[in-house]
Amino acid sequence: MMEKYFIGIDVGGTKLAYGLFDRACNLIDRFKAKTNPELEPDEMLDEMCTHIDTLLKNNSLKRSDLMGVGAAFPSHIDYDNGFIITTSSLPKWDNVPVKKLFSEKLGVTVEIDNDANVAAIAEHLFGAGKGKKDMLYITISTGIGGGIIINNSIYRGSYGAAGEFGHMIISDDGYLCGCGNKGCIMSLASGPKIIRYTREKLEEGCHSILSAMVENLDDLTCKHIQDAANIGDQLAIDVINRTGDLLGIMFANLYQIFNINHFVVGGGVSKFGKPLFDRFNEKFRKLSKISYAYPVNIVPAVLGDDVGIIGAAALMLQ
């Protein structure tokens, strides 16, 4: 029997990433392009078909060699019907029947899902959650989101919005979240809010090497904070500890709700590394008061930037 292939697509607000995979979900080749959010959905899907043809041609393949295409979108997805319900990164895509349109254009089976669900599937099948029956995946970057694995299957909820952990309210204070509420964990511990908090502390006069690391505080990044903490800068250390405490509260709440004993944490903020993980583990254990007879693991994700294309391709295996 001739080999058949899958393609996984990670659709972001600024880039499109494509991966070509064999039946065992081994990555064979990849292709990247810029996202043009000004395009109408029909136009962008045509462009994505062209990108797929390029990836196939680069590997001496054609569309008839495909078993299917999976695509991850930064969106609220109606998985069963293949609709994007809402998305902030691609404002023209609300209420678009992407699965139907894309499948008709390509002539192959297409599956779509939320990017956090797709990442959870990837880490569960091939990464830090491999072999675990139940798992929570949490991504902490520009926003905070996640995916829920129960009995080896992704749990999407009644309306496809399960795993929106970033809108868990853990305080009645703090910055205003994009959803309109105050106190969402995403408005306190996501990458942009960590940077905003640090910048405000510097503007208040806190002494820190961070002031000398950038010419303009608007250029401050989480990498600067990590580098400063690594050489003992107290403000940077305090910022990471504060972030760890906030995330520890979220993890404790999630554990009380789901009673799941394996958490996988990804996203750019997780690159703060061991100091962050140690801090939120400490806070989590203090709040959850779990017995050491019932271990709970909070571990870093391992699939890196390929998690989206791997998980998207794995949609075809579900």
Contacts 24+ apart (CB under 8 A), 80-83: 80/160, 82/110, 82/111, 82/112
List the single range of 58-62, 63-67, 291-295, 313-317 with lowest mean pLDDT: 291-295
User: What domains can you pick out in the chain, each with its CATH number?
Assistant: 5-122+306-317 (3.30.420.40), 132-302 (3.30.420.40)
pLDDT digits 0-9 by tens, 247-278: 999 999 999 999 999 999 999 999 999 999 99
Distance CA 248, CA 315 (A): 31
Query: Cβ contacts of residue 209 below 8 Å, gap of 6+?
Result: 228, 231, 233, 236
Distance CA 249, CA 144 (A): 14
Question: What integer is the mean pLDDT of 53-73?
Answer: 97
What pLDDT does 1 receive?
Answer: 46
Kindly tell me if the per-residue pLDDT of 290 is higher than 90.
Answer: no
What pLDDT does 15 receive?
Answer: 93
